[in-house]
Amino acid sequence: MKRSLIILSLGLALSFGAAAEDLSYRLPASHAASHDNLLASQNNPAVSVENTTKYLEALFAEEEEPEFDIYTEGWDSKLVNCYAGVSVPQTATIDVSNFSMPHPGYITSPYGYRKRFRRMHKGVDLKLNIGDTIRAAFDGRVRITNFERRGYGYYVVLRHTNDLETVYGHLSAFLVEPGDYVKAGDPIALGGNTGRSTGPHLHFETRYMGYAINPCAIFDFANQTTHTDTYTFDKNTYQNARNYSPEANSQYAKQYLAANPSKPYVRSSSSSSASKSSGRKGGSSTYQVRKGDSLSRIASRNGTTVKKLCQLNGLTTNSKLRIGQRIKLR
């Protein structure tokens, strides 16, 4: 009897040890380390809602009007919301362990309702320079590449194997086309300034069966990782961020700008098309003269010289510019 109990005890101990060993491999070491660092830097994670609201209002005082929702507005018959009328569960657990940050930029405009525009901003905007590489957040297939003049500009929608969809807007060029299968981290597009955009940035959305989840519930952009290996979708809380810290975002912004200084850019024309694979930027190489512009000001803004502008446009340094006049830049 004693021998049987000993054997049984040994068997249970070995089984428990094997289970513990299996569990130890579920979280990649680099991922675990990033979370240890994150937790160590968040000894006092409580943030006052009032202070946070004031901080965001000051930080994003000049942000542009949010994009129209491509899932409910501006879609033609080809781009109908494929989840319309589908029963969506109250909660769902989604594996986000195999991920890639779509771009390393910091948040320039967060997810949430905009009082002055009276509508939602259903993603986050990430800082970038035109031509920066945009990467697939998870494994999946390209569902849409398209252009939406009033909001997203050139955009890509990916359907992922974990049942999420991600949206990437204001692009300058497509590197994929509908039907292509991509892995997390694969290049899918180049960053841009198309559509309703006053400066280069990536508009990034995470959606579950049409519900626009706050990307900050899944991703910790200041630490360039996900919060955990799984995300629990809940119809009651999907708009909430998880441990979002405006201060951490501000600190990360300083680091990012030091390593990635802003570059002069040309606002892209909505009438031109993005190209696949070639890397050509979708957008016109021209500039429309605005009030107060001069040749020297246009040249400095767009990384060229007055001499080159004069040669391209048949002008002299004394030529008078008209508001609305188109100036060739290259």
Using DSSP, state whether 278 is helix, strand or coil. Answer: coil
Query: Between these two residues, 266 and 301, which has the higher pLDDT value?
Result: 301
Which of 127-141, 185-199, 244-258, 291-305 is the least confident region? 291-305
> Within 13 Å, how many C-alpha atoms sit on residue 189's CB side?
37
The pTM score is: 0.64
| pLDDT confidence of residue 229 | 97
Query: Lowest-confidence range among 37-46, 160-169, 280-289, 293-302?
Result: 37-46
Provide mean pLDDT across the span 211-221.
96
On whether the CB atoms of residues 142 and 182 are closer than 8 A, the answer is yes
In the prediction, which pLDDT does 296 show? 75
CA distance 272 to 54: 39
Whether 190 has a pLDDT exceeding 80, the answer reads yes
Average the pLDDT over 37-48 and give the result.
Answer: 43
Q: How far apart are CA 21 and CA 14, in angstroms?
A: 10
Distances (CA, A) of 225 to 34, 101, 137: 7, 7, 11
Q: What is the pLDDT of residues 96-151, one digit of tens each?
A: 999 999 999 999 989 988 787 777 889 999 999 999 999 999 999 999 998 888 78
Residue 20, pLDDT > 60, answer: no
Amino acid letter for position 127: K
Of 58, 36, 62, the closest CA to residue 247 belongs to 58
Alpha helices in the chain (DSSP H): 2-23, 29-40, 49-59, 246-259, 295-301, 306-313
Average pLDDT over residues 308-328: 86
